[in-house]
């Protein structure tokens, strides 16, 4: 087991109250596998990745739980130990490469800085390694493009640069936070294909953070669906697409446009809005938006239970055995 997250709770203490951005989640990731974490904005998926990386900023903090990387709890490591793990053994690609890359430095200088931070090499060797990595991630004329500034590159090229920087230390775990956001579909496919092949080449695990189930179907081995800080469904990718169980997962899948849809009906939308994190409902947080809501959904929080090879957090499956009254 490469990564194991146990009962993780991450909170933000604000003047108006406490936001439980990640609320008691547990999952694991094996070496060489791709795990996708899916959900709308505010579901807690990015906060989960920042908690693992130790990059939370005030007022965010991990309140409870364990994050075990190769059996060692990252939360109990010293700052020096965390720095040695971060960048070398665990790397992260952030959502928008233009904000992650420094606009006043050439691409080569930024990658070389990363190399020389983690490895004891000369500038000449660092430059050679930089050009090699740019070639590996598919940047044409890498020796020339290394001298470009970020604004001289397209969004897809900048994302490839970020992947190159993330892979410099040959990490065992790569966390990719919305790596295809704001890219057109052709470039999205190229970036996903690149991530898939980098996984194969370096035998690393990938945690893919996304709101796009189309991306998940192309790349992932296993999927976690999050809503309001909680895991609502978990399954291998084929099972999730062939037999989704949670009403939220069903809503996400129904919202995907399909070429075979020839009628003029508008695209399905999940009704309502994500609840205010400072004023969460007493029961299931999805209850006000759910077409299958029952009385108890508004009063009790369902537990994450096993169902047909899935893990799902919904009273519907208890009702199959016990009966229940719908509202």
DSSP secondary structure string, 58-124? TTEEEEEEEEEETTEEGGGS-HHHHHHHBTTTEEEE-S-HHHHS-TTS-HHHHHHHHHHHHS---HH
Q: Indicate whether 283 belongs to any domain.
A: no
Domain boundary among 138, 169, 200: 169
Do 74 and 14 sit in the same domain of this protein?
yes
pLDDT beyond 90 at 61: yes
Domain boundary among 250, 273, 296: 273
pLDDT beyond 90 at 76: yes
Do 15 and 141 sit in the same domain of this protein?
no
- Total tally of structural domains belonging to the chain: 2
Q: Indicate whether 294 belongs to any domain.
A: no
- C-alpha distances in Å from residue 107, one per residue of 97, 128, 154, 179, 316: 12, 13, 13, 19, 52
How confident is the model at residue 326, as a pLDDT? 40
pLDDT beyond 90 at 193: no
How confident is the model at residue 324, as a pLDDT? 39
Tens digits of residue pLDDT in 109-123: 999 998 888 788 899
Q: Indicate whether 311 belongs to any domain.
A: no
Q: Indicate whether 320 belongs to any domain.
A: no
Are the C-beta atoms of 306 and 313 separated by less than 8 Å? no
The better pLDDT of the pair 9, 169 is held by 9
Domain boundary among 149, 169, 189: 169
Confidence of residue 97 (pLDDT cuts 50, 70, 90): low
Tens digits of residue pLDDT in 126-160: 999 999 999 999 999 999 999 999 999 998 899 89
Do 120 and 39 sit in the same domain of this protein?
no
User: Which CATH number characterizes residue 187's domain?
Assistant: 3.40.50.300
pLDDT beyond 80 at 307: no
What is the domain range of residue 163?
102-169
Do 67 and 207 sit in the same domain of this protein?
yes
Tokens of 87: 């960048």
Q: Indicate whether 205 belongs to any domain.
A: yes
Task: Read off the pTM.
Answer: 0.90
- Beta-carbon count within 10 A of 83 CB: 14
Q: Indicate whether 97 belongs to any domain.
A: no
């Amino acid at each position: 087991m490469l990564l194991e997250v146990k009962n993780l709770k991450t909170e933000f203490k604000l003047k108006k109250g406490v936001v439980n951005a990640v609320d008691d989640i547990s999952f694991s990731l094996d070496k060489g596998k791709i795990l996708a974490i899916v959900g709308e904005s505010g579901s807690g998926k990015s906060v989960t990745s920042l908690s693992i990386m130790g990059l939370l900023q005030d007022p965010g903090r991990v309140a409870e739980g364990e994050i075990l990387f190769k059996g060692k709890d990252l939360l109990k490591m010293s700052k020096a130990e965390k720095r040695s793990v971060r960048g070398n053994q665990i790397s992260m690609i952030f959502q928008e490469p233009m904000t992650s890359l420094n606009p006043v430095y050439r691409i080569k200088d930024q990658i070389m800085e990363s190399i020389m931070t983690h490895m004891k090499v000369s500038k000449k060797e660092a430059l050679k390694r930089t050009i090699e990595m740019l070639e590996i991630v598919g940047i044409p004329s890498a020796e020339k493009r290394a001298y470009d500034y970020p604004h001289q590159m397209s969004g897809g090229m900048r994302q490839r640069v970020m992947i190159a920087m993330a892979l410099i230390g040959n990490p065992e775990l790569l966390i990719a936070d919305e790596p295809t956001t704001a890219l057109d579909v052709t470039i999205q496919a190229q970036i996903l294909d690149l991530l898939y092949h980098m996984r194969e080449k370096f035998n690393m695990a990938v945690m893919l953070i996304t709101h796009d189930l189309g991306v998940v179907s192309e790349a992932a081995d296993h999927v976690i669906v999050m809503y309001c800080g909680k895991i609502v469904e978990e399954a291998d990718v084929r099972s999730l697409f062939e037999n989704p169980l949670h009403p939220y997962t069903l809503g996400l899948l129904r919202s995907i446009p399909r070429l075979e849809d020839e009628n003029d009906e508008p695209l399905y939308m999940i009704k309502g809005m994500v609840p205010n994190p400072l004023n969460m409902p007493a029961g299931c947080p999805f209850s006000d938006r759910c077409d299958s809501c029952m009385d108890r959904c508004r009063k009790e929080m369902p537990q994450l239970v096993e169902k047909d090879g899935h893990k799902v957090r919904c009273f519907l499956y208890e009702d199959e055995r016990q009966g229940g009254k719908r509202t």
